[in-house]
Amino acid sequence: MFIKKILTVIASTTLLFSSVNAEETNFSSEDISKLSETFGHLIGHNLESPGFTFDVEAIITGIRKAVAGDEAPLSKEEYENMISAIQEKAFQDISDKNLADAEVFLLENISVEGVVEIEDSRLQYLIIEEGEGAVITESSAPRIHYTGELIDGTVFGSSLESEEPITLSLDQTIPGFQRGLIGMQKGEKRRLFIHPEMAYGTSGHLPPNSLLIFDIEIIDILEEQSDTLEENS
């Protein structure tokens, strides 16, 4: 990802210079100095990579050698292979840590008053407000408000931003979300604590093996109709 960002910065700047040359605009040496430093600043802002920190001085050396026509210490293939290996190791380390954190969290969370555990310790819930009336079944299409968070409190999704509840089909959701909603009543508010194995695991757009916490409010419970459903992930 960071490589693409850097290439985008370089490409956009090259395009800018091409446009400037075409218009034969004159710049002072001070202008060029400021432009050059800002270009470096943009690259520096995109040098983030999981697993390691770039050596800025070595990057500057590489730029100078490239301008002078000298060879790089690694071939393009060697460079890409090394980047891939480092990122794969970092991804695995993050996955292992998040999984361990999730299991510790659930182990401690079960002692919280009101927390109920189901699905072999991989799913817990806490009823925040009781509901009444209709109950969600596997074939229901519940209309809900939700907020999803990570263990550290980072919010990764919420229907409250648009102020509009969503209607979903339970079979389009992650297993923990689906199982956690079954049995809820209209008007009920529940907090779900979902183990990574019943969430996204190491796939998806969230950090790998993240434990997910959802606050759910059941606005209404409909019969499942494919033409009224909105996909929810």
Rounded to whole angstroms, the Cα distance separating 42 from 191 reads 42
Q: Is residue 107 part of a domain?
A: no
Asked if residue 134 and residue 209 are part of one domain, the reply reads yes
Range of the domain at 21: 2-82
Q: Is residue 214 assigned to a domain? A: yes
pLDDT tens-digit series, residues 201-216: 999 899 999 999 999 9
Whole-angstrom distance, CA of residue 34 vs CA of residue 28: 10
- DSSP conformational letter for 72: P
Q: Quick one: CA torsion of 185, 190, 193, 196, rounded to 10 degrees?
A: 50
Q: Residue 180 CB: number of other CB atoms within 10 A? A: 26
**CATH number, residue 123:** 3.10.50.40
131 and 216 together in one domain: yes
pLDDT in tens, 3-41: 555 556 555 655 555 555 544 567 788 877 887 778 777
Does residue 104 form part of some domain?
Answer: no
Tokens 């919280």 sit on residue? 112
pLDDT in tens, 92-134: 999 999 999 999 999 999 999 999 999 777 999 999 999 998 9
Residue type, 215: D
Angstrom distance (rounded) from CA 50 to CA 114: 38
**Per the domain annotation, does 70 fall within a domain?**
yes
